Structure 1
Amino acid sequence: MFIHLGGEKIIRSSELIAIFDIMIESSSKISKQFIDFAESNKQMETIGEEEAKSIVVTHDRVYYSPISSTTLKKRANQFITM
């Protein structure tokens, strides 16, 4: 199954590790370090030109998504319950 992250970006649900609200970046020192590490290793991708509302972590990339973490979690849970 697949999860639409916004724009034209779709990932396999099996690749998904975590979905976070964008506020975690400013409220957690460890989260900020994780994001900085992903950026320095060119593993970070911003989806679209809209303001990011969530951070999506997969096996090999970290995405800034314009879709809220609540909506993305609902989409992910649809596949888990099937």
Structure 2
Amino acid sequence: MYLHLGQDTVVKLSDVVAIFDLENASIAKSTKGYLAQAQKKGRVVNVSTEMPKSFVVCENKERGITVYISQISSATLKKRTNFVKEISI
């Protein structure tokens, strides 16, 4: 199965490690550092032509880790994964 990240970019669902809301996650120093380091290593791919809303961390054997910046909200991307589970208390 595949996940559409925006524009003409799709990734294998099995490669998705995490989906983050860009606004909330980028507040933390550790996240800023991770994104800066990924950018420095050439591992960031911007698939957004509009204001970015999320970033998706993917990993596969051939390319290693890639961070995709997307204009699609993290909530929408998570729904597309079909991994929304009910939480019972």
Look up the match of 1:45: 45
Matched-pair identity in %: 37
Gaps of 5+ in 2: 60-64
Once residues 9 and 80 of structure 1 are traced to their aligned partners in structure 2, the CA distance between those partners, rounded to angstroms, is 22
Helix, strand or coil at the partner of 1:51 = coil
TM-score in terms of structure 1 length: 0.90
Higher radius of gyration, 1 or 2? 2
C-alpha distance in 2 between matches for 1:39 and 1:5: 18
Please, what TM-score do these two structures have when normalized by structure 2? 0.83
RMSD: 1.5
Name segments (4+ residues, structure 1) moved above 2 Å: none
Q: How many residues align structurally? A: 79
Which residues of structure 1 form unaligned runs of 5+? none
| Equivalent residue, structure 2, for 1:12 | 12
How far off its partner does 1:49 sit? 1.2
The within-5 A match list for 1:1-82 is 1-23=1-23, 24-25=25-26, 27-59=27-59, 60-76=65-81, 78=82
Q: 1 CA distance for matches of 2:48 and 2:54?
A: 13
Deviations 1:1-60 (A, max 9, x none): 0000010000000000000001111x1000000000100000001003111000100012
